Chain A
């Protein structure tokens, strides 16, 4: 990577972030917005510093439920996606169910999960899972279903079994779709766990924000939002790096 590319890849996005915060600060200053409505970034960062350890602890909890829920989503999404994508019968059988299930707002499921599992870690983990497995499933299934019929014919004419076709062609073919979906799914997983924490939990960033807002500590609420955004960007970046490493052929590099 030469200097010019380095500047383009790092300096420009960093500059954009700084500009965003400066703009925000400026708007708050110019329009004299009170800090219990919209605190300036300087105030938010001060709050982040002041409550640093508590925010870190709750972030850890959220990160834990999110990544665990997301991991389950990856496994379930892959297996169901492969099954649905490979078998036309399963596709017909399961698709209406899956669509119906996905249209249910997940926040409506949280109370049910609380009844079953109590408040705290498990509902958050399950909400993260439920919200994020669908994009993985759909993408993986699409990758398999769009397999070129000629390629299938070539393999069938060689006497390949369905499993061989899946292993030699289907599975590698779904990888770009899979990693593409991971980036969407991982950010969705955060939505899931934080929703659940705000509704029913005694820990996690979602809980911290609800607690802070009930005390009108708006800067702390925003500090929590910032922490979530930061974690979301980090996991997204990890997914993007994995994608670039493992499916290089799909990007023609």
Chain B
């Protein structure tokens, strides 16, 4: 755990320095383009968090093991965190580059809806405690993921303002290596932070569960 914390810190420092100071300027957008180094990792962590939430939810529905439910819960929280960061950084990036804070572009809109769905997930967990609520939330966690392919698909199908995928394309990345490298480091940094938060929260939830069991058993 300590190792993870230290590597997360180091990766962040290296990644952010590289991104903000050392990476080359983008020809058309200039300095604001550097938000990409935060925005893209946030998006990836969102997908990771919500993917894990899906796995946890599905397995909890199938097996009933509390551990899967804890994973789903924690990943739901992290998912909301990273979707918020994605939307915030994306909005901030959009203002200088597109001239607008928001547009009803397909990808933006569906990401916003994803935010609502997972906030709804957390609301159900809060308002429906106990196993019944956990199972209801798990179903929502599963349904929410069915929205994810629509996000990616809609960005490609409909005419959009959002840039077409430049990294995860069938033809391979369109970014030059000088930008891919810092992007990679930042993704790794975000991943490390994600894991730190994940393990911390999981440990908290496990302890809480044990406490509740002990108190109820007494």
Indicate, yes or no, whether A interacts with B: no
B binding-site residues for A, Cβ under 8 Å: none
Interface residues of A (CB under 8 A from B): none
